[in-house]
Amino acid sequence: MSADPRDIVDLSLPIAPPDGGGLRESTGDGRGGSRPWLRLWFACSRQYVRAYRNPEGTGYLARCPACGKTMRFRVGEGGSAERFFEVSC
């Protein structure tokens, strides 16, 4: 089964998921809140990583566990509703 090309991240372009959507999980900080997150498959390390939305609500940050490449994902209008992405680094 081949991957849907809309779910593969091009490292030369930022991903802009829509604000307010996404999967949520407890922050574990005792405040009872939750933060949206993205699930990323890093192809070079063959590992999944969760990227949580930053406190400002403007984006997500993730790092490849094998090569250390940092990925930034913007939050903005007209972005993707997808929450799972494959990253090739």
Kindly report, residue by residue over 12-55, the tens digit of the pLDDT: 444 444 444 444 444 444 454 588 999 999 999 999 999 999 99
pTM exceeds 0.85: no
User: Among candidates 45, 46, 50, which has minimal Cα distance to 25?
Assistant: 50
Residues 83 and 73: beta-carbon distance below 8 Å: no
More confident residue, 51 or 9: 51
Query: In whole numbers, what is the pLDDT of the chain averaged over residues?
Result: 75
Cα distances (angstroms) measured from residue 57 to each of 21, 41, 76, 83, 86: 11, 22, 10, 15, 22
Task: Look at residue 63 in the predicted model and tell me its pLDDT.
Answer: 93
Mean pLDDT over 62-66 rounds to 93
